[in-house]
Amino acid sequence: MAQRNGKSKVKSANTRSGKKHYDGDFSKYSKKNNLKAKRVEKISKPAPSKKSSAKNTTLQFDKDGSIRLNKYIAHSGVCSRREADKLIETGAITVNNKIVTELGYKVKKGEKVHLDGQLLVAEKLQYILLNKPKGFVTTTDDPEDRKTVMDLIKNACSERIYPVGRLDLKTTGLLLFTNDGDMAKKLTHPKHRVRKVYHVFLDKPLTKNDMLEISNGITLEDGLIIVDKISYVEDITSKKEIGIQIHSGKNRIVRRIFEHFGYEVVKLDRVVFAGLTKKDLPRGRWRHLTKKEIEFLKII
């Protein structure tokens, strides 16, 4: 937050301009940019494909036909490599029915790897981006038998993929799915400060004083919350629409920030996640990440 002559200047949520799609650039965005995506009747269909799409990444074995055991486990989609090391150390992993506790152990093609008796299969890595509609819970299985985000991407691939983080029932926007345990771990860990930008619709105008307090950081019941950037959405004179950028992954964090100051979040849309945007991705549609996007996520 910049300070000049005792007055506060709110930075925009994104310094890039000239975009025709809504990508988190709140300082340049206006209603004419078609904020409200048209309702998609058949929500399980993919978005139009791109020539550069990378539908999967094949598991790479060494020249001798072997691969580190922790990497094999991570490719099976159950956990990250670091977590796989812990499973190995505790004796939960067997290779050809023999317990392996040696870190750095290499498994060869054709060998059978089990976790607590369950066969693990190293799958092709998949990366699916969904523009989530409201009314779907972010879970792989719901005991209340509600619609889940898995229903939306059930035809995307044959591998078992899981959502990275979560969006609540009423929240719309970008949600990533993968069976890459290492990447999922990295994208959800606070230390990597993964950028998430939301478009917030409030029940009443946000005052400048409240915006200033939010930008300076606030303490909620679960600790201090740092907001990276916040601004009004340009051309929205009511000041009920806000752009906010955060890296926290705490549950319902955006809603709780505004509720703390007495505002109700009427609508909430995640428009940017880890550099990925909703460009060419209508509400309810999904697509495979491009090779370039996957490479970018791996270096975060």
The answer to whether 145 is a known catalytic residue is: no
Pairwise CA distance, residues 147 & 19, whole Å: 33
How far apart CA 104 and CA 102 sit, in angstroms, is 6
Q: Cα–Cα distance between 14 and 101 in angstroms, integer?
A: 48
Please name which of 200, 286, 203 lies closest in space to residue 246, comparing C-alpha atoms.
Answer: 200
Report CA torsion sign: 220, 226, 231, 236. negative
Q: From CA 130, how far away is CA 157, in angstroms rounded?
A: 13
Residues 6+ apart with CB under 8 A from 201: 240, 241, 265, 266, 267, 268
Cβ neighbors of 257 (< 8 A, separation 6 or more) are: 214, 218, 220, 225, 227, 244
Task: Return the SS3 of 148.
Answer: strand
Q: Which of 25, 141, 142, 168 is catalytic?
A: 168
DSSP letter (8 states) at residue 191: G
**CA nearest neighbour of 245 among 14, 10, 5:** 14
Residue that has been written with the tokens 């509600």 in this structure = 146
Residues with active-site annotation? 168
